[in-house]
Structure 1
Amino acid sequence: MIVNATEFKTRAGKYLEIVEKEEIIITKNGKEVAKLVPIIKNGTPNADFLYGLLSDFENKDITKKQIRDERINKKYENID
C-alpha cells in the first residue's frame, strides 16, 4: 500500500493496524521516503533468514533442525 505523508500523519493509528498485514510505503511530494513492514512474530530472525536462503528447497515443511543440519553439512563437505 502506498500513502502520502499527510494522510499517514492524520490516520497513523489506522495504518499501524494495516501494517500488521501488509507493507506500507510512505511518500512525500511524490517520492518514496519510508517503508513500514510488519514484524514477524513467529520463529526467530535467524530461522526466518535461513528459510529465505532455502527458498529453492523443494520441501517447504522443513524444520529448524533440518536447516541447521543442512548448514553444517555444507560447511564441512569440502574439507579434506
Structure 2
Amino acid sequence: MIVNATEFKMRVGKYLKMAEKEEIIITKNGKEVAKIVPIKKQGTPNADFLYGFMENYPNKEVTIKQIRGERIRKYESSY
C-alpha cells in the first residue's frame, strides 16, 4: 500500500496494524521516502522461505530443482 506522509501521520495506528500483514510505502511530495515491512518472528526471511517448503530435508542440503518440486507438490495437493 502507498500512503502519503500526512495521511500516515494522521492515522499511524491504522497503518501500523496494516503493516503486520503487508508493506506500507510512505511518500512525501510525490516521492517514496520510507517503507514499513512486516517483521518475521523467527529465523531469517530467506532461509524460512526456501527451507520452509523442505520439511523432509533435515540437513538442508538441497538443490533448486528439489525446492521447485516440493513447492509444486504443495500447491497441487491443495486442490
Normalising by the smaller structure, the TM-score range is 0.5 to 0.7
1:44 paired residue number: 43
Deviation, structure 1 residue 51:
4.3
Distance 1:7 1:63 in 2: 46
Assess, with a 3 A threshold, how the Cα gap between structure 1 residues 61 and 2 changes in structure 2: closer, same or farther: same
Deviation, structure 1 residue 44:
1.1
Instruction: Tell me the matched-pair count.
Output: 62
Deviation, structure 1 residue 39:
0.3
Q: Compare CA radii of gyration and give the structure with the larger one.
A: 1
1:74 paired residue number: none
Unaligned runs of 5+ in 1: 72-80
Identity, in percent, stands at: 58
Unaligned runs of 5+ in 2: 63-79
2:21 partner letter: K
2:5 paired residue number: 5
2:26 paired residue number: 26
1:62 equivalent among 55, 62, 78: 55
Distance 2:40 2:21 in 1: 10
TM-score between both structures, scaled by the size of structure 2: 0.64
